[in-house]
Structure 1
Amino acid sequence: MALLTPLLAFLYHLPQVYKWLLKPYYVASLFMSVAFLMIRKTPGICEHLSTQREDGNPCDFDWREVEILMFLSAIVMMKNRRAITVEQHVGNIILFSKVANVILFFRLDIRMGLLYLTLCIVFLMTCKPPLYMGPEYIKYFSDKTIDDELERDSRVTWIVEFFANWSPECQSFAAVYADLSLKYNCAGLKFGKVDIGRYGDVSKKYKVSTSPLSKQLPSLLLFQGGKEVMRRPQVDKKCRAVSWSFTEENIIREFNLNELYQKSKKLNKSKGDKNVGNSSMRDCMTTKAYC
């Protein structure tokens, strides 16, 4: 059963994974992830490689290479236990596959290791994972608009994500946050985002660190009446984020989204009644015979 669950989850998301893998970023990442495997197994190339196998076959993995691959596979499995989206699963596999390739190439030939490491650095600097471009009900703030919008109507509750485009965790969370906005956004409950990687003053004002060491990205803050009520993840005395999983279930539970949504529907109704009353008053003013 433990093996069946992840297998069924993979098959369920297979069309989506297939669509991602067709994107240039993932195509290039896939080739880089299997680079050592292709070189070690390609006839005409593998015969010229060194090996520590007892049978002297250079076209198969030796015991040390198998040990390295098994160790890094265990790390990937541990990391993926905390992954919340398919993007994170795929990203972890790609990342640690590249790490394994660096180690294996350096062990095989230092020149090949340096070449592969250089390619990884160039790829990291020039290629970025594709950003989420799906449907959402999210308002994007700048340093000049966030305060005014949060304080515009004290009856409106805001959930605001503080993020940075360079953060892999923020990129992976984008689809989850967008889905929540589609389900719960209404007149009394709204969703916002602010890029604190771009607006440093906002980062300082709301005390959300952009340092990778703090692990505070992404951060979700709940505002009511323009004031912060709660945030996740919480921050300890050393300004490091307390471990918290950004799953849809956790967010719904911790932020009481179902309860907030029910209250927001009442606000929608009161606004609708007020609009009807205003409309009736205008009708009476313009056509007194009907009053």
Structure 2
Amino acid sequence: MSLIRGLLSTLYYLPAVYKWFYRPYYLLSLLMSLAFAIVRSCPGLCEHLPSQREDNNSCAFDWRELEILMFLSAIVMMKNRRAITLEQHIGNIFLFSKVANVVLFFRVDLRLGLLYLTLCVVFLITCKPPIFMGPEYITYFSDSTIDEELQRDGRVTWIVEFYANWSSECQSFAPIFADLSLKYNCLGLKFGKVDIGQYGAVAERYKVNPSPLCKQLPSLLLLQGGREIMRRPLLDKKGRAIGWSFTEEDIIREFNLNEIFQRFKKFSKGEEPEDLKTLLQEAPEEEQPHEDEPESKKDK
């Protein structure tokens, strides 16, 4: 079933895939992923490569190489079961394809393996995934503007994403958060982002650990009057994030966005919106803030 699901997902997204290869990062990643297949089938070069085929055809995959590729396919399909966006699907394919290429090149020739591994390191350092540049209604905060803006009007509710540009999870989540801002932004409900990779003091103030080991990025905080109402993901006693899926449906449900948006539309008509805590108390119990949820330092 996972194989069929992966094939159907690929066919569904196929019309949108081609546009990514106009970008250098994805084009180079594609070439890096196909490097061994290109070398193995390249006339004038493949004849000099060792092979375990019975017919001694060194320009075709042998049984061990096919075994490695099949194992790679299984890992990619299992990994993509948790992928949310198209970028995550493609990123998983590229990542594990490069790992398989390293194994295949080292198996064939130590020099080719070292050369390919060096190219992978250079690519990782010099070529970064493109940052999402689509339409959005999002305010970008700095360490000097976030407190003033969040406390400017206590009636305004903010959903703030704490992110870092180096985090692939944050990059994959960017189009989802942008889409939510287009659908739900109004005078009483606004969306913001702060790069805690650049503004570390903000991360400390709002108790968001930027360490990859804690897996807290991205973090979404619901704030009103500068005071934290709830956040996702929640944290365990050791300060590590409890696994949570950053899909659009989960965010709408957990943060009760449909109800909040309808109530805060009154703000644009000059009416006073209901208190956010009262609104969240009307949500199902699993949508309430966790009792061990850390509060913002600015309350102290």
Instruction: Determine the C-alpha separation between the residues in 1 that align with 2:218 and 2:41.
Output: 41
| Amino-acid identity (%) | 72
Shift of 1:125: 0.5
Q: 1:32 to 1:75 in 2, by over 3 A?
A: same
Q: What CA distance in whole angstroms lies between the structure 2 residues aligned with 1:26 and 1:119?
A: 15
Cα distance in 1, alignment partners of residues 259 and 38 from structure 2: 54
Equivalent position SS for 2:270: helix
| Change in CA separation of 1:2 and 1:68 when aligned onto 2, cut-off 3 Å | closer
**What is the alpha-carbon distance in structure 1 between the residues aligned to residue 3 and residue 106 of structure 2?**
34
The 1:124/1:216 distance shift into structure 2, 3 A limit, reads same
Whole-angstrom distance in 1 between the partners of 2:262 and 2:118:
54
Alignment pair present for 1:28 and 2:28: yes
| Counterpart AA for 1:208 | V
Q: Secondary structure at the match of 2:159?
A: strand
Deviation of 1:269 after TM superposition, in Å, equals: 1.3
Partner of 2:281 in structure 1?
A: none
- Aligned equivalent of 2:227: 227
Which segment is superposed worse, 194-203 or 54-63? Answer: 54-63
- SS of 1:165's partner is coil
The answer for the alignment partner of 2:109 in structure 1 is 109
- 1:209 matched residue in structure 2: 209
The whole-number CA distance in structure 2 between the counterparts of 1:9 and 1:53 is 34
Corresponding residue of 2:98: 98
- In the alignment, structure 1 residue 45 sits paired with structure 2 residue 40: no
**CA shift for structure 1 position 187:** 0.3
Distance 1:4 1:68 in 2: 20
Listed as ranges, the matches of 1:1-291 within 5 Å are 6-270=6-270
Paired with 2:162 and 2:170, the residues of 1 have a C-alpha distance of 9
C-alpha contact 2:221 2:230 (8 A) present in aligned 1: yes
- Deviation of 1:9 after TM superposition, in Å, equals 4.1
**Distance in structure 1 (CA, Å) of the matches to 2:66 and 2:243:** 33
Decide whether the 8 Å contact of 2:233 with 2:244 is kept in 1: yes
Q: Which SS does the other structure have where 1:182 is aligned?
A: helix
Q: CA deviation at 1:209?
A: 1.1
AA matched with 1:152: R
3-state SS of paired residue (1:249): helix
Output the aligned Cα RMSD: 1.6
Aligned residue identity for 1:29: S
Gaps of 5+ in 1: 273-291
Paired residue type of 1:257: L
**Aligned AA (1:89):** H
Q: Check conservation: 2:88, 2:172, Cα contact below 8 A.
A: yes
Give the partner amino acid of 2:241: A
Q: In structure 1, what is the Cα distance between the partners aligned to 2:229 and 2:166?
A: 27
- Higher alpha-carbon deviation: 62-71 or 180-189: 62-71
| Larger gyration radius, structure 1 or structure 2 | 1
1:145-180: CA deviation from partner (whole Å, max 9, x where unpaired): 111111111111100000001111111110000000
TM-score, structure 2 normalization: 0.87
> Retained in 1: the 8 A contact 2:3–2:77?
no
Residue aligning to 1:283 = none
Once the two structures are superposed, what CA deviation does each residue of 1:42-71 show, in whole Å capped at 9, x if it has no partner? 222111100122332211222221121111
Letter in 1 for 2:247: T
**Stretch of structure 1 that moved more, 174-183 or 220-229:** 220-229
Query: Would the aligned equivalents of 2:2 and 2:78 in 1 still touch at CA under 8 Å?
Result: no
Question: Which residue matches 1:288?
Answer: none
Q: Are the counterparts in 1 of residues 223 and 229 from structure 2 also a CA contact under 8 Å?
A: yes
- Distance change (3 Å), C-alpha of 1:100 and 1:6: closer
Q: 1:189, CA displacement in angstroms? A: 0.4
In structure 2, relative to structure 1, the CA distance for the partners of 1:186 and 1:142 (3 Å cut) is same
The separation in 2 between residues aligned to 1:2 and 1:99, in whole angstroms, is: 22
In 2: Cα distance, 1:91 partner to 1:195 partner: 22
Q: Is the 8 A contact 2:165 2:171 kept in 1?
A: yes
Q: Which residue of 2 aligns with 1:286?
A: none
